[in-house]
Amino acid sequence: MERVSDASAGSRAAADAPGGGGRAPGRPERGEASGARDRPARRGPAVPPSSRPLYVTGLVAALWCIGIGLAVLTTATLIGWIAAPKTALGDGLPGVFRTAVNFWLVAHHAGFSYGQGRVGLLPLGVIVLPGALLYRGGAWMLREGGLPARPRRAVVQVALALAAPYAGLAGLLALAASSPEVRPSAWQAVVAGFLVAVVAGGLGAARAVVAAQVAAAARGQRVRSGLGALLRLLPDRPRSLVIGVAGALSVLLASGAVLVGASLATNMSAADHLYDLLAPGVVGGVLLLLVELAFLPNAVIWGVAYAVGPGFSVGAGTSVSPTGVFLDAVPAFPPLAALPEPGPAPAVSLLALAAPFVAGAVGGVLTIRSRPAPVSEGAPMWGFVTGALTGAVVALLSALSGGPLGGGRMATVGPSAWRVGLLAALEVGIAAAIAAWAANTMILRRPARAEAEAGAGAGRRAKAKKRPAKRPRTRETPVPAPLSAPVPEDYGTPAAPAPKPPFAPDPLEFEEADPLLRPRRPRRRPDPLPDIEPDIEPAIEEEPPAREPAPQSGGTVVVEGHLVDDPPEPGPVPEEPEPDQGHVPLPREDPGRTETRGGAIYVLREDPSPPDPS
């Protein structure tokens, strides 16, 4: 494996990487001031990379992974043998060790023969143990070799250097654990061990490379370098496909888990009955629980196969799918109590058929969001590629989750890999293509929409510049004018009001007649001035009642704003001559000669004809 010529950069980055033997980046040592975080960290002398060849480092890592794994499984097997020494765990300590080796091979999904049949239905949950150990071994190998000049090539070299000795040791262990009753498959042990080591060790080495690169670029600052950082080693388009496939698989696995959980909760009474029939005891109950947890991933994948459509089988001639349930006698294993009753499939479970289409929509959107297609026609193609890859992964998982369980009727257990993979590729691919096209169209329209909004904003700003700026309205408080000195003319006495003209009634063309009703008595005070007698001859009316003369006051008095002297004492009123009754005709009682005004009735009078001069 090639290394950087300047060993100081690679060794310092590897030493400061998480788990690389150095202190965590960005964390001050004891006694270091808190402000030292802002300064570049001072590094000591460069630690030279390991001088061991890469294949030697791989052999050491393989031995470490195998030793830790066998120690864990041997301990669990020994506990079970002590609790039930007459079981099939083996006779004596050699038998216990052979059983532990068989469990270790099963953890790598290597089958074995038992009696006249073959056992290929292996728990997928046990693969977590060797996978985690190989992951740490690959990361340790790359840190020992230093930061490489070509990271991708270094990851492949580390994975192969770890997988080769690991697969060889797995084959040797399969031959050593063989017995007349149980015969592990040596070639399956070699192939399965090599594949598991390549995948897990390569992931560990890739994460170590990314962590070292990030730590070197961060210069003493703490950064995140988890599994998501592994995608940095991939090109843009493969990275987008990996993201889309991961999203679609997450939706499918979640739907399978929901199906299994709901079915097991519905048939919990049957599971309790099977557990009582087994009567495992305390230690056996714990071991049985571990076995059930190990088979839980298999059950989830079977739920995915049910949601996709083909379903799965539990023996020859059986089928569990949305079209119907056909079952025969099943093994007395408590998780199998979750199987539905024979007959039509439950109506609620048919909702799971929408899971592949939802998974395709999620996968297509994630694929295009991480790497949009330059043209709209290319987006559906990448969406369908995402669905096809998802179908391939589902087919692989279906093949690993099933297998024969001895000979005879139980030789076929689990889903059909090619049927589940084909239908998953079609369903997920079509939904992903449609979702990818829609998402890519929206992404391509964003720049045009942004440009249109920017142009509209520029136009509004240009119009705003042409318009004169309006002055802000400010309310000014008026300043009062200074008061002047008082002027005598400004305070003169007001002029006396003009005297009112004497009352003169308007001349009438007719003579007022006596009202039928008695006129109201006037209530106003008499005018002290002499009355002006009108020229009009008053009408004959009754004499009003005598009024008392107004009191006299001596001297000058003020009447309606006028200064007047005491009026002279009225003398005797001369008698007026009676008019000539012969010349004035009496009013006629003709209704046409009367008028009513103001509530009074007036009689019109005709002018007398002049006397004849002869």
What single string gives the DSSP state of each residue in 559-578? ETTEEEPPPPPP-PPPPPPP
Q: What is the DSSP string of 268-292?
A: HHHHHHHHHHH--HHHHHHHHHHHH
CA–CA separation, 588 and 329 (whole Å): 141
Residue 604's CB is within 10 A of a number of other CB atoms, namely 15
**pLDDT at residue 373, rounded to an integer:** 84
**pLDDT at residue 305, rounded to an integer:** 95
- Whether 214 shows a pLDDT value over 80: the answer reads no
Angle (CA) 402 405 410, round 5°? 100
Mean residue pLDDT across the chain: 75
SS3 414: strand
**pLDDT at residue 418, rounded to an integer:** 93
**pLDDT at residue 226, rounded to an integer:** 59
- Whether 299 shows a pLDDT value over 90: the answer reads yes
| DSSP state at residue 343 | B
Structure tokens at 208: 């170590």
SS3 112: strand
**pLDDT at residue 115, rounded to an integer:** 74
Strand order in the sheet with 182-184: 117-119, 112-114, 182-184
Which residues, at least 6 apart from 312, have a Cβ–Cβ distance to it below 8 Å?
Answer: 302, 305, 306, 319, 320, 321, 402, 414, 415, 416
- Whether 134 shows a pLDDT value over 90: the answer reads yes
Q: For the segment 492-541, what is each residue's pLDDT rounded down to a tens digit?
A: 556 667 776 665 555 554 455 555 556 566 666 655 555 555 555 555 55
Question: Looking up tokens 């096809």, which residue turns up?
Answer: 388
Structure tokens at 333: 């294993």
pTM for this structure? 0.65
**pLDDT at residue 332, rounded to an integer:** 83
Q: Half-sphere exposure of residue 595, counting CA atoms within 13 Å on the CB side?
A: 9
- Identify which has the larger pLDDT, 461 or 357: 357
Percent of the chain's residues with pLDDT above 70: 60
**pLDDT at residue 43, rounded to an integer:** 40
Return the domain boundaries, the chain: 1-26+44-233, 236-455
Q: What is the dihedral of CA 105, 110, 114, 119, to 10 degrees?
A: 130
- Whether 14 shows a pLDDT value over 50: the answer reads no
Q: Which of 58-72, 241-255, 291-305, 404-418 has the lowest mean pLDDT?
A: 404-418
User: Which residue(s) pair with 343 in the sheet?
Assistant: 325
